[in-house]
Structure 1
């Protein structure tokens, strides 16, 4: 399978929509590259790494070379957290990561207290002790106050991969879910070995009321390697996703609203892909890149240093420099990464609706490093467009209401009413 073919059937309506989006992408990508090299936003998203320590050694983790024992231990302290929020008091979004952030619970609690914005904490879910329980209590407190907070746990439970070497993952997952009344999200990073079991893996989590999002491992680990996905596996991803969408819609009861289990399940599975696809159907806006760095985010490492993103260290190997002017560094980073990504994606069939590309990995290791991830996300996107534009739902008012609920609790600002969705589709 190349970037230009699909090993599965797609609808005429969805193909026409994608073709129109691609045309708009082609005519506007030059303007976009100009925008991302301008001064960063006043309220950027923040990605805050509170420690470089980790209790696992995942084979696909590109951060291992920056962790002990290869590098000295580095933990962010409370004062550094306060300095970040003094500098950026109203970030658009905050993502907390490590290493393993629960190895530095005090810094995580400080962020939970200081952050006024929507935030996510990404953990490997392999630590559960009194310190972690204190973090969970702080998350629960934020949730009760109405501040959007999500605990994302990486897991390989239910699959065939042994990339992470975890133990007792089921028991730990259920402990985390119990502590937060089920308000967690599972992140499952797939390899070719896992994809044939995608339906069984999803069912494993869903039977335990755990919403799961699938990703595909890119080649940005070690010295970089090509990571592709077979035609058969791309077809499996597409067919599974379409069945999952139809099943969630069939189960959904409008009276249950936007927080029902079928909606939570499918919104997590498709994360930003679903609401973004609805927006594209309605407004026809292309997506030049889904990557946060091209939407102006800033990464803070454990020592408090700022950079354009967590791939910055690899990027510096290709473009050495030691500028003290973060704005200029970000401008150059955006220019390099944006131009490389657009050149590599120039004729890709998903170029205007992309949800998988990491421009920094592509910039450093080449397009082959993210080929599989692009095709994996492309199959998810194709299935989503097919569901949105399926003629069998044309006269079903529940379908428009279902799409309304998907978009209403997403990070997109625009709320769509049923008539506008239906008219666009």
Structure 2
């Protein structure tokens, strides 16, 4: 049964805090997982959260702090002294420690680092802080197990035991040369079944996937997803092993990227959350709303250019919202599939083949929808054949154009190193609305002759 946090449970903790009943708090939280403790802290007032952080042991609260929402963590860290933060940092792996220190004000970073007792740990954290947080260097941890290719199995096992004390979880054993250049990986099975006098260079596996410190986090995620890796080594510009990235860090990258793409597709220009200030939410939403307003103004201008049709064929205007909506919907569908393919690196093959495929797909879908729409217009609304034919041909044409725009705009953006998720939101919807209305009335003008 998963641990359940009820309102009564939160109230019990708040009451214990109010009474300074530290023994009761220890008893109540003794068997609770740190992720659940973090969830509990999110439900408390900030003063209560800080009280709890200071009360519990650092080997627990250090992990709790990494699980907190960024805003909550910022408030908690403000309530701790630099020495208290350093005590939490001492218990964390280097990647998590660097992430927390990076969030601190500039004037506090050096002070916290100076209070870290483990000087080697502090040195490694400082090294990680030099990398961009969205690169492999910013994601990696320094803790790993590595062995020299010139050792024998007996020496290797002794060294591994010493190194493993500093590593929370051993995913892989990496093999390096005398210059720390990554040569391969070592199978635990081979290590256990080989003579203790055997040289490591005779048994290690030379094929090993790795990433460079400057590789983007999204590229690291793609490689780990493709090859089903739990961890991946990180090398510097000359091939030296400098760290490793584990699957938990990549899950965070994938989650953040998905949230960013979802917000961009919804027409939100920056990372925001529901409880952000009105000003922050306005800054994120307003630019796209301005774009939509501008697009709507263009659509109205296009309609104004066909005012002759209003007097001669007023029934055409019944279908204007439908044509615009279909153009937007088809464009978003096409762009969403392409963006997904680009994200998964599954978009391969000739662009001309993709063009032909989209045209054929659009013709089929457009033909079916046009027949349904033409039939409904003629038999239920009493429109004449020419009007029905105009709407049908327009719908097919609009669907083809919208699908092509939705297909190629993300590809073009990607080639120009612009996030293709930009194409799945108001950008595609607005542009296809305009093109849809323009195509509709141009075709109507050719067929009906107004």
Bin of the TM-score, shorter chain as denominator length? under 0.3
Q: TM-score, normalised by structure 2?
A: 0.26
RCO comparison, higher one (Cα < 8 Å, 6+): 1
Which protein shows a greater Rg?
2
Larger helix share, 1 or 2: 2
